Every structure is written in C-alpha cells, then in structure tokens.
Amino acid sequence: MTEVQLQEFKLEPDSELRFEVESKNEKVVLEVKSGYAELFGTELVKAKPYEFHTGAKVAVFTWHGCTVELRGKTEVSYVAKETPMVVYLNVHAALEQQRVAAEQESTRGPVTMVVGPGDVGKSTLTRILLNYAVRMGRRPIYVDLDVGQGHISVPGTIGALLVERPASIEEGFSQQAPLVYHFGHSSPGENLELYNTIVGRLAEVIAERCENNKKASTSGVIINTCGWIKGDGYKVLSHAAQAFEVDVILVLDNERLYNELKRDMPKFVKVVYLPKSGGVVERSSTQRAEARDARIREYFYGKRTPYYPHSFDVKFNDLKIYKVGAPSLPASCMPLGMRAADALTKVVQVSPSGALQHRVLAVSFAAGPHDDVLHSNLAGFVCVSVPSTIFIYIILQHRVLAVSFAAGPHDDVLHSNLAGFV
Ligand code: ADP
C-alpha cells in the first residue's frame, strides 16, 4: 500500500516512528521539526533533511518527544509505543560501568558479542551500542563477523573499525581505515576452517592494537555475528567467543541459543537475553542477495558521495591470482601427517581465464605468495571486467585457425572451402 506524499507525526516520549521505502527509485525525506530524535543511536539534527532510498527500513526513536515530517512515498509508516530501547539503554549503561572500571584499573574494557538468528536486529543493536559509546566520548572497536550482511567492506569479508564518531544517518560508520580479511563466501558454512582461521587472526590483531591504544582498549569491542546459530553455526559462534575472549554475550530473541551459551560458556562470561524490536523487518533471500549486490556497488561507486572508479589494464604476467581452498581428498589419499581439512586453507594459484570475468578479487597486503596470504589483511578490491576480446586472445593463443570462405556463421561453414590459415 502506498501512502500519501507528506506526513507529519507527533511522537510521544519513548516511542518510535517506523517506515519503509520499497518502490523502485523512490526517495523519502525525513525532517525533525521540533524536539529530539535519534536513528539507531545517531542523533538527528533539527530541520536537516535526511534522504532514504529504496530498501530502507528505518526507526526514528525519541526519548523526550518530537515532531517529524516525512516527504515521499513510504511503503508503510506507523508510530510504535512498544520498543525495547530502555532495555538496550540499560545494557549500554552496564557496559559503560565496565569501561569506567577498566579506566580506573588500567585493564581491558568490555568485549561484547551480539548473537541471534537472522533478522532480529543484531546489526541494529550493534550500531546503537557503538553510537551510545562514542557519544559518551569512548572509542570502541566495531567488529563485524557477518560475511553475508556485514557492514564493513564488501560481503564475503570480516573486518573491524575504530569508531571515532557516531554513524552517519545515510552512510553508516566511517570506513576510513578498516581492517579487513578475505573469506570469499556469503556463509561461514562454505569453509569453516578458513572462517575460524581469519576470525582468530582478526582477534589477535585487535588484541595487539589494543595494547598500543589505551583509549580503544578501555572502550572495549562490540562484535556483530552471522544469524547461523545451529549445528556448525553454534560452533562458529563459540569459537569466535573464545578467540575474542568475550566478557558479555547479548542473545537476541532465541532462548535455545541463550541456554546453550549459558551452559557452555565459562562462568565469567555474562550471557544476557534481550528481546528483539517489533520493528525489525524480515528479509527474503532475494532481498539479502540484492543487499549484497548493493554493498558491492557502493564499494566501487559510493553511496551518497559518488566515487569514480577507473579501469586499467594489467598484464597477467604482472599479477598473481590465488584462491583459497583446494579440492578436499578422502583421508585415505592424504599424505602422511596431513588432515583433509588442511586443504580448505591451502592457497592455490589460479590461471587467468574467462571464468574470472565479473568476479571481485581481493588485493592482499601479503608481499608475496610465500608470505602468509591468509593472515594478511586487505588493501582493497578489484572487479575483473575484461572485454571478451582479451579473453578470446588468451584462449586462442598458439592455435592455428582456418579462415573459411563461408559468408557468415549461418552459411554452411563445414561445406565451404578455405581461404587460408592464421
Ligand atoms: P540482523 O542483523 O539480525 O539480520 P538487522 O539489524 O540488519 O538484523 O535488521 C533487519 C532490518 O530491520 C534492517 O533493515 C533494519 O534497518 C530494520 N530494523 C531494525 N530495527 C528496526 C526498527 N525498530 N524499526 C524498523 N526497522 C528496523
């Protein structure tokens, strides 16, 4: 249902306006007319227009009451009085107490991991907690382990950021100097061994950096995770909790996961159950795939600030392309002392071929193939958009072709005689 073009909402204290933009190429402009409001923890500036585009699912929350105006076609827009924001604020207050204690005792601040099934608001809660922390003058580290719908870099990677200012309403957290590791798939299940390896590496690097940055260390870390929580997914979460030595696990909307973690985590880890917001919108697998495509497009072309990527030719001799993971062999065929799982983290050279076209390759900081490619972070990404002619050239190299007298491909090539050879 499409609603009217201009809408004004009066929000009472402790309530939120939720709206979605669905129609293609649609733009909705939000403006706070009076009072104070925030969007997922970022304070909104009065009388400043904020634009939202197709696919946006937004909640404008107010602690003190406000008047908000929406211009443009929204798929749905309503005011909700029931929100879990007070509970989330209490979590923030508890984390803040731990930061104060860490500052006084010169120890590490709280390392918090947000877990739960898909579409329960994990990324949103992570964003709210980071925004509240930074608004208190903290410099927390944001870690995103969600390779499918993460918010640092492109899908298929995990990463971390030092958060120094609240997330921008339209563009999220500033991505000035993220620490990113390559995974290459949209779910950890595609290569568990590799996923656990890079999660372990990210945790190590963050621990090292915290040793040299006291402010970040006392502010703590907030980790967002994937929505895969059963079977191997649970093992992946437990491994991440161990690797980052988490102090707090916030479980959103899943009692089974909460009880399992309570049972399995060491006693000093606080496992807290939190309700999900009624506003969180479920996404279909098509919407998830579209969101992934949008993130990749955003990486190359920017979101609000446009980027102008340029293409250039590189000789295949000048670059080395690798993929991670060799085909796994049955245990009986493995050389002595090697596990079948080792093949999953093996770096294999790939020869350039048409199969690379339209693929996104990660550019590693590793100095050479013998350096530890898996343990090196990424400099950026390139998209292979080679014109087919170059590939034809490569594929046909060193072959002799017959030139036919046939006038076109639909003429009888087999029955025409030859003009010569090239
Ligand atoms: P998860 O990380 O658990 O998959 P997200 O935090 O990404 O879930 O939330 C899913 C979607 O719901 C996002 O598009 C987000 O903007 C939206 N959303 C979250 N909280 C609210 C809310 N209170 N009102 C409206 N939309 C919301």
Question: Model-level pTM?
Answer: 0.87
pLDDT above 90 (res 161): yes
Report the nearest atom of ligand 1 relative to the CA of 61: 23
**Per-residue model confidence as pLDDT tens digits over 350-402:** 888 888 888 888 988 888 766 688 888 898 888 887 644 333 333 333 345 56
Report the nearest atom of ligand 1 relative to the CA of 55: 14
Q: For residue 195, report the distance from its CA to the centre of ligand 1, in Å.
A: 25
Q: For residue 104, report the distance from its CA to the centre of ligand 1, in Å.
A: 36
* pLDDT (0 to 100) of residue 422: 52
Q: What is the ipTM of this complex?
A: 0.98
Contact status, residue 9 vs residue 70, Cβ threshold 8 Å: yes
Torsional class of 65: left (φ above 0), alpha (ψ -120 to 50), beta (otherwise): left
* pLDDT (0 to 100) of residue 337: 66
Q: For residue 109, report the distance from its CA to the centre of ligand 1, in Å.
A: 27
Q: Whose CA is nearest to atom 13 of ligand 1?
A: 57
Percent of all residues in the chain with a pLDDT value above 70, rounded to a whole number: 86
**Per-residue model confidence as pLDDT tens digits over 399-421:** 455 666 666 655 565 666 666 66
Task: Pick from 226, 280, 292 the residue to mutate for probing ligand 1's pocket: most ligand atoms within 8 Å of its CB.
Answer: 280
CA distance 272 to 250: 5
**Other beta carbons less than 10 A from residue 288's beta carbon:** 16
* pLDDT (0 to 100) of residue 240: 97
Q: For residue 272, report the distance from its CA to the centre of ligand 1, in Å.
A: 20
**Per-residue model confidence as pLDDT tens digits over 342-360:** 778 888 888 888 888 888 8
One-letter identity of residue 149: Q
Q: For residue 123, report the distance from its CA to the centre of ligand 1, in Å.
A: 7
What residues flank ligand 1, with Cβ below 6 Å? 18, 57, 59, 118-124, 149, 227, 277, 279-281
* pLDDT (0 to 100) of residue 329: 66
